[in-house]
Structure 1
Amino acid sequence: MRNSTLVTVPMLFFILCGTAVAEVSSTLEKIRNTNSITVGYRESSIPFSYLGSDAQPTGFAWEICNRVIDRVKEVTGSADLRVATQAVTSQNRIPLLQNGTVDIECGSTTNNSDRAKQVSFATNYFYTGTRLLVKADSAIKTLADLNGKTVVSTTGTTNFQVLRKANADQNLGFKLIGAKDHAEAALLVQTGRADAFGMDDILLYGLRANSRNPDDFAVVGEALQIEPYAIMLRKDDAAFKKLVDDTLASIIDSGEFETLYKKWFESPIPPRDINLNAPMSEQLRENLQNKTDAPSV
């Protein structure tokens, strides 16, 4: 009896663990079983995913994910599907996706090879590069001007890693510090505690446009590297990835993607009705044809 118990308990443990992992990895099954989907969003990644004046998520990525949710309702036959939301940060977005807290992340996450070891990405839907947000009267115009300065970037982002590597490889001589999110990083520049904020240029344009005095800031410097953004999904979940990719393909082929792009990047957007004036890049136009999910290195 004693030997039987010792064998059975570990077996039961592994069976239960295996079941839990299977439920988390099969997103559509999880959604069917709970009649709910949890969407991860960012609180200050303008114009992709952020809180509007009504304290509810909004943005370009958020609208795309709403189209995905509509498709999920069709596939699962659940018109009354409960949609829950969960704010995520650069640091916790991958763990929360992996452990099943969120089912899809609609933010401003770079699709790169390192992250692809932990999660999957849908078709790339934006391309950007790391540049600098500075005060308008700053002497900083290029990376070479950062010598002896303090540069902030958001902890857990690829931008932080890119800046650290550039600092070492090019002997730029700046001090790199971390902030918990984009809003805090911008505040450090505004208050003079940092001289520049290194981040994806489109996010910097969004933060600048929605600041109290946009003319007080400038986005400067050459882009360190070009990186794609994509919706983040759990790894090895082919059925859900296909659903998301097919939804994106439908939006692109119908012309709705370009309509959404013009709405969020070339028109006044909330909360301050400022136009980012960010025309579509050649990289993105090319990917509207190719529809690739290829990561950056």
Structure 2
Amino acid sequence: MSRPGVRLALLGALVLVIAVATLRFGSAKPDDSAGRRTTLEKIQRSGVITLGHRENSIPFSYFDDQQQVVGYAHDISVAIAREVQRELGMSGLTLKLVPVTSQTRIPLLINNTIDLECGTTTNNQVRGRQVGFSTNYFISGTRFLTRKGSGIHDLDDLAGRNVVVSAGTTSEIVLRRINAQRKLGIRIIAARDHGDAFVALEFGKAMAFMSDAAILYGEISKAKRPDDWHVVGTPMTEEVYACAMRKGDAEFKAVADRAIQRMMRDGDMRRLYARWFQAPIPPREVNLQVPLDPKLSALFAHPNDLPLQ
């Protein structure tokens, strides 16, 4: 692409990113806060908390048929926002929702566009050099989504084939590394997000979609014929999710951790899991029927015990 073309593409992406929706807890003042303030000071001054959300990551964070943001991780981010409101003693707080992708979520935190991102973001040491993380709230193994009858059962069956991943994810990094190490000859397609990756799979551009198993089950719910698809393969990595925030902001992290740990202690996190993974969900009212993994159950009982990867 020419340099003018690159500039236009980047400008278009920026316009998409800053197109936001707002949801009010109450009244708010205009945002005239400075980026150097702590997150809590910024929120108290402006009356606004800005939440990054995914557009198409069922069942974590996505738009329903009314174009409202819903999902397991979105409910957690809203709970954190309410905890922030209590911490600051504010009578009203506006939630400003900004769409993010795997590639934009960390840059938008660093440049103060968003204050918090709860989605499918893996808490690991590499990312921990750039951003801070809350208490861990989810665990999922990395596997493959493929059509039944494809003959694909595990990684070795994909040698010399096309595999799609979401750009900027740990799945992309791991697959590229293993592909090079084992000389499998896999042709890796990097899609913009999970939704685009599944479209590539549905249209036959790839034999499999590699991602966290929980994400893959969500993609099955979008299919015209969900029974045509299944998740296969030995888990290649274990992904532990947490909410991302600006690095070094201990006060804001303490509030986020308190909200998540209270949800675990009170049983709210298990109820959220049942709501989004074991019951019909919008927009198509498909039940993902994902059993609660023993490791995730243990995490709910003992939050933040897992080490960083």
**Same fold (TM > 0.5):** yes
Aligned residues: 277
Q: Which residue of 1 aligns with 2:113?
A: 101
Distance 1:270 1:230 in 2: 24
Q: CA deviation at 1:33?
A: 0.9
Secondary structure at the aligned position of 1:111 is classed as coil
Secondary structure of 2:36's partner?
Answer: helix
Aligned residue for 2:10? none
Deviation of 1:291 (Å) = 1.3
- Deviation of 1:256 (Å): 1.1
Residue number among 27, 31, 43 corresponding to 2:55 in the alignment: 43
Q: 2:82 aligns with which of 59, 70, 75?
A: 70
Pairwise CA RMSD: 1.4
Picking from 208, 212, 219, the partner of 1:196 is: 208
2:35·2:42 contact (CA, 8 Å) conserved in 1? no
**TM-score scaled to structure 2, two decimals?**
0.86
| Superposed displacement of residue 268, structure 1 | 1.0
Instruction: Kindly indicate whether residue 241 of structure 2 is the aligned counterpart of residue 241 of structure 1.
Output: no
The structural deviation recorded for 1:50 is 0.7
Instruction: State the shift of 1:294 in Å.
Output: 4.6
Do 1:134 and 1:220's aligned partners in 2 also have CA atoms closer than 8 Å?
yes
What amino acid does structure 2 have at the position aligned with 1:93? R
Contact 1:111–1:295 at 8 Å: present in 2 too?
no
* Aligned CA distance change for structure 1 residues 295 and 105 (closer, same or farther; 3 Å): farther
Distance 1:79 1:170 in 2: 58
Instruction: Classify the secondary structure of the residue corresponding to 1:114.
Output: helix
- TM-score, structure 1 length as denominator? 0.90
Query: Partner residue of 1:252?
Result: 264
Q: Which of 42, 53, 64 pairs up with 2:65? A: 53
Q: Is structure 2 residue 196 aligned with structure 1 residue 184?
A: yes
Following TM superposition, where does structure 1 have runs of at least 4 consecutive aligned residues deviating by more than 6 angstroms? none
Find the counterpart in structure 1 of residue 104 from structure 2: 92
* 1:187 counterpart SS class: helix
Q: Which has the larger radius of gyration?
A: 1
- Structure 2: which amino acid aligns with 1:119? V
Letter in 2 for 1:102: I
Aligned to 2:294: 282
Identity %: 43
Whether 1:33 and 2:38 are equivalent positions in the alignment is no
Cross-structure match for 1:22: 36
C-alpha contact (below 8 Å) 1:91/1:156 kept by paired residues:
yes
In structure 2, relative to structure 1, the CA distance for the partners of 1:85 and 1:270 (3 Å cut) is same
- C-alpha contact 1:121 1:231 (8 A) present in aligned 2: yes
Cα distance between partner residues in 1 of 2:242 and 2:224: 29
